[in-house]
Each structure stands twice: as C-alpha cells, then as structure tokens.
Amino acid sequence: MHSLNFSPNGRFLVSGSGDTTGLVWDLSGHHANARKIGSPTTADMEARSIDIAGDDAAKAWRAIWDLVLAPQPAATFLGEPLRPVPAADADKIAGWIKDLDAEDFATRRAAAHELEKLAELAEPTLHKALEGMPTAEVRRQATRLLEMLRGLSGERLRQVRAIEVLEYIATPEARQLMQQLMDGTPEARLTREAKAALDRLTQSAKR
C-alpha cells in the first residue's frame, strides 16, 4: 500500500497499491451490513440524540450512522432544537465578567453560568479581561471558562455531531436547515460548522 486519502466528508478512505489497484473503504461500517432502524420512534431518536452528545465515541459513531440511515425523520428530529445563534449582547457579557468578582457567591455562580451558556461568543471579551488587570477571582474564572471552550461536551457536542449527520444525509431538507443555521452570528461554533459542511458538499458536487 503506497498511498491513502480520505474523502472530504470522512466517510471513505481510498488506498492505492504498487500493483496499480485502488480500493475504496467505507468507514461508516454500514455498507456491507446496513442496519436500518426502519420507522424510528421518538424514543429511538431521543436515545440516539443522547448518544451523540456523550463521551463514548464508539457509541456516538454508531448513533450517527443509525441516524444517517433514517434521513427524513433524523433531519426533522435533529432540526427541531437547532436555531441560528443570535449575536451576544456585549454589555451583558461585560457585566457578567464583572460579576465574577461579586461578593455574593450566588451572583458569581449565576454570572459564570451565563458565560458558560454563551460559550465561544464570550471568548473575545474573556481574553480582553485577562489582558487587563483583573482580580484573582476574575482571572481564575475567566481562565477556567476559556479552558472549557477548548473542548466539546454536552449540548455543544450534540450540535456539532448533528451537523455531521445532516452533512451525510445531504437531502434538500438537511441542506436548507444548515443554510438557515448559517444566518447565525459568525463567531458561533454552530454557524461555522454549518458553513463548513455546506462548503464541503458544494465542493464534492463540483468534482
């Protein structure tokens, strides 16, 4: 085997050998023994939605492909909670960062919770706060929040994997949903993931 190359969507791997043969490998694991989930119930969809938000990568991978094999109900189910991310209120973010140093513990906790929900939308302001002369508590909390943003978990992970499912499905409904998500604020992870997925689909169609 002399060369390997992944398809743009990561679903296939092409291998080239010295005897001039090439093989295409289906990495989804569903090609030879496609196991459709038939007419999935709401419970089926909810179970797989939980799996794609989990830390068990193998279970999430199986759930992703189960959803891909039920394109119409999967696109409808996954699309219901996905909405374009609105722009964040800069004054509110600044206020919550200030509240990280409040004397009242409940106020500090509430401010941290609001900033966690904003995720990457709060990132520029958090960096700016660290560049100044923050108190020890603001520095500690801002650093913790920025470290959290380096990874994906919970709802943010579910959203990224939901975009992955929609990209594989690539039906008009799935494309329309991703197009709508692109209307969100450009800094949001969901907006960027939807745009990248549509760009890959567009490039694949040109080949």
> Apex CA 60: angle with CA 54 and CA 64, to 5°?
135
Alpha helices in 30-171 (DSSP H): 42-52, 57-68, 71-79, 90-99, 105-118, 123-131, 136-149, 154-169
CATH number corresponding to 90-147: 1.25.10
* Residue % of the chain over a pLDDT of 70: 89
How far apart, in Å, are the Cα atoms of 151 and each of 23, 34, 55, 145, 160? 35, 32, 11, 11, 12
Range with the lowest mean pLDDT among 42-51, 148-157, 170-179?
A: 148-157
Predicted confidence (pLDDT) per residue in 58-90, tens digit: 899 889 988 988 889 999 999 888 999 888 899
Read off the pLDDT band of 38 (50, 70, 90).
low
86-125: pLDDT as tens digits = 888 999 999 999 999 999 999 999 999 999 888 888 888 8
Percent of the chain with pLDDT over 90: 43
Mean pLDDT estimate for the chain: 86
State residue 42's pLDDT score.
Answer: 86
Distance, CA of 15 to CA of 3 (rounded, Å)? 6
Q: Answer yes or no: is pLDDT of 161 > 90.
A: yes
Question: What pLDDT, in 10s, does the model give residues 14-32?
Answer: 888 776 778 877 666 554 4
pTM, rounded to two decimals: 0.72
Q: Which residue has the higher pLDDT, 152 or 55?
A: 55
Q: What is the 3-state secondary structure (H, E, C) of 48-69?
A: HHHHHCCCCHHHHHHHHHHHHC
Take residue 174 and report the two structure tokens written for it.
Answer: 């799935």
pLDDT, position 1: 58
